[in-house]
Amino acid sequence: MASGLLTISSKTYSAWSLRGWLLCQLAGLDVEEHHVANDANNRAELMLLSPSVLVPRLTHDGVSVWDTLAIAEYLNETFPKAGLYPADRAARAHCRAISGEVHSGFVTLVSALPMNLKVAHQKFPIFAGAKPDIERIEAIWKECLSQYGGPFLFGAKPTVADAMYAPMARRFVTYAVPLAPECAAYCKTIGEWAPMMEWAAAALAETEEMIELEGDF
């Protein structure tokens, strides 16, 4: 029986829903999924690619919490042995810093390359304005992989940072973004991460489509 309720939207298009779900997987929390329809408000959330007060929302043990970083902190407090953050204090601070950066930044990139798990371009024109965001993400990944040894950002096991950057890794694959070898390897690691594979398979089974996020644009 599920011990929590996670309200999410599209598995195909919603990066925020993916992050919330991956965080629950990291915590080992079994959740029942409640899907909200792609109504006008939810479609606006997907098109703007910004955090929503509606999804993801975790309801657990009488507590309701939304926003991905708030969910991460709640799960870390509730399941301290799950290892959502690195054990080392400095690494833990580093993890929180880069997670906060992707949570609040890279707006140009996410607008230019919306998450879409049903397509895989062989070649895609990258908007010049998005390139500084791509370069910054690569710099973050290179630093972490070098400092902590990979294959995940903070070592052998995934952390909050990997849940937060997973949609970026998938975007880079979807739009065939040229990456440094170590960053391409990290995208492969995320793609082969069991929870990510489960989510992607479920996305392929979805029937609802958003024409606004399909095709070349």
Residue 214 has pLDDT above 70, yes or no: no
pLDDT score of 53 more than 80: no
Give the integer Cα–Cα distance in Å for 195 and 119.
19
Residue 172: pLDDT over 80: yes
Contacts for 155 with CB less than 8 Å, ≥ 6 apart: 86, 148, 149
pLDDT at 55 (0 to 100)? 84
Q: The tokens of 22 are what?
A: 């991956």
pLDDT at residue 54, rounded to an integer? 72
Nearest to 78 by CA among 24, 149, 119, 157: 24
pLDDT at 216: 35
Residue 31 pLDDT > 60, yes or no? Answer: yes
Domains of the chain: 4-82 (3.40.30.10), 89-198 (1.20.1050.10)
What DSSP string runs through 36-96? Answer: PP--HHHHHHHHHT---SSSSEEEETTEEEESHHHHHHHHHHH-GGG-SS-SSHHHHHHHH
What's phi and psi for 155, nearest 5 deg?
115, -150
Looking at residue 1, its pLDDT comes to 43
CA dist 139 and 23 (Å) reads 23
DSSP the chain: --SEEEEE--TTT-HHHHHHHHHHHHHT--EEEEEPP--HHHHHHHHHT---SSSSEEEETTEEEESHHHHHHHHHHH-GGG-SS-SSHHHHHHHHHHHHHHHH--HHHHHHS---TT---SS-PPPGGGHHHHHHHHHHHHHHHHHH-SSBTTBSS--HHHHHHHHHHHHHHHTT----HHHHHHHHHHHHSHHHHHHHHHHHH-----GGGSS--
For the cut 60, the answer to whether the pLDDT of residue 212 exceeds it is no
pLDDT band at 39 (very low <50, low <70, confident <90, very high): low
Which of these ranges, 36-40, 67-71, 116-120, 126-130, has the smallest mean pLDDT? 36-40
pLDDT mean over 145-152: 98
**pTM, 2 dp:** 0.91
Residue 195's pLDDT band (cuts 50, 70, 90): very high
With bands split at pLDDT 50, 70 and 90, how would you rate the model's confidence at 40? very low
Mean per-residue pLDDT over the chain, rounded? 90
Q: Which residues contact 51 (CB under 8 A, 6 or more apart)?
A: 16, 67, 68, 103
Better pLDDT: 153 or 39:
153
Q: Using pLDDT thresholds of 50, 70 and 90, give the confidence band for residue 49.
A: very low
CB neighbours of residue 27 within 10 Å? 25
At CA 175, angle to CA 22 and CA 46, rounded to 5? 55
Task: Give the pair of three-digit tokens for residue 154.
Answer: 């903070």
Is residue 46 over pLDDT 80? no
